[in-house]
Amino acid sequence: MKNKDFITIRDWPADAMNELLALADAVKKNPSKYANILQRKALAMIFEKPSLRTRVSFEVGIQQLGGFSLYLTQNEIHLGRRESVGDVARNLERMVDGIMARTFSHAVVEDIARFASIPVINGLTDFCHPCQALADYMTIREAKGAAHGIKIAYIGDGNNVAHSLIYGAARFGAELHVASPAGYGPDPAVVGWAQENGGETGARIEVLTDPFRAAEDADVIYTDVWTSMGAESEAARRREAFRSFQVNDGLVSRARPDYVFMHCLPAHRGEEVTGSVIDSGRSIVFQQAENRLHVQKAVMITLMG
């Protein structure tokens, strides 16, 4: 997969996705083996949105691989305003070895990849969050021994995280049930693609409006914030729409006794999840967050090595 971009999980076949997770496992178990594999390689990191996990995991990751990063905010480059996306991409390709972009519009990351000859990694867009989902499936395999055939109940907004989980289910053969309020479900085109292409891995994807039905006998309960960055004006309306979709003790009682709870973070305790769930012994949210470091190192090794 050398010199290809990592824009969506949809773009990579199932065997390549499994190779990425195998490499992430190896990097996690023996990080010193990979300490200089990207020696002196430079990663430009473009941020239109603030970040904790994305920035730290990419900065630490590239340094642990022997390279270094450059942090570029919207205030510095004014992507698409002071300079066109294409010109930014064509400048950077002559100075660095890879680009990670965390943007609002998915089209911006696609344009960077179209114009830049160097690898481009999607750090998050309003459409998908592939690095997060890759870390999620790594964590599920660690917790449950496999992702294939595991029932995941995603409760909440059919957002960028949900889209990447859906693509990942198709690639890893998971059984994913997405429960969202009417009008807040995932993009039907994403669901349709996954249902059509998940047959080869035995995946099953279902979209529901009943969170309790989705959680029935689930191995994994997953949720995300009700209001994503950029949609703050909708917060009050969303709180009302999602009120019955809170992951609480009553909902998780429908899951299997050995279920695990996941959240991509940041979490709003008392909204999408109660403290009794996220802070319980069944929660693996910080293991999940740590695995962002390892999977992104695997992506950078594969693309920039």
CB 169 within 8 A of CB 205: yes
Q: How many CB atoms lie within 10 A of CB 74?
A: 16
Do the domains 9-128+292-304 and 132-288 sit in the same CATH topology, yes or no? yes
Query: What confidence score (pLDDT) does residue 74 get?
Result: 87
At the fourth CATH level, the homologous superfamily of domain 132-288 is Aspartate/ornithine carbamoyltransferase (3.40.50.1370)
Q: Is the pLDDT of residue 76 over 90?
A: no
Q: Decide: helix, strand or coil at residue 70.
A: strand
Mean residue pLDDT of the chain comes to: 96
Q: pLDDT tens across 256-295, in order?
A: 999 999 999 999 999 999 999 999 999 999 999 999 999 9
Q: pLDDT tens across 15-37, in order?
A: 999 999 999 999 999 999 999 99
Find residue 83's DSSP bridge partners. Answer: 79
Query: What confidence score (pLDDT) does residue 50 get?
Result: 86
Please state, in angstroms and rounded to a whole number, the distance separating the CA atoms of residues 1 and 101: 19
Active-site entry in 171, 263, 292, 294: 292
Q: 3: pLDDT confidence band, cut at 50, 70 and 90?
A: very low
pTM given for the model: 0.96
Active-site entry in 5, 10, 97, 102: 102
Q: pLDDT tens across 184-243, in order?
A: 999 999 999 999 999 999 999 999 999 999 999 999 999 999 998 777 889 999 999 999
Residue boundaries of the structural domains of the chain = 9-128+292-304, 132-288
- Rounded to a whole number of angstroms, the distance between the first and last alpha carbons of the chain is 10
Q: Is the pLDDT of residue 75 over 90?
A: no
Q: Rounded to whole angstroms, what are the CA distances from 251 to 132, 199, 240?
A: 24, 30, 18
Instruction: For residue 292, indicate whether it is catalytic.
Output: yes
Instruction: For residue 128, indicate whether it is catalytic.
Output: no
Third-level CATH fold of 9-128+292-304: Rossmann fold (3.40.50)
Instruction: For residue 264, indicate whether it is catalytic.
Output: yes
Residue keyed to tokens 């990579």: 12
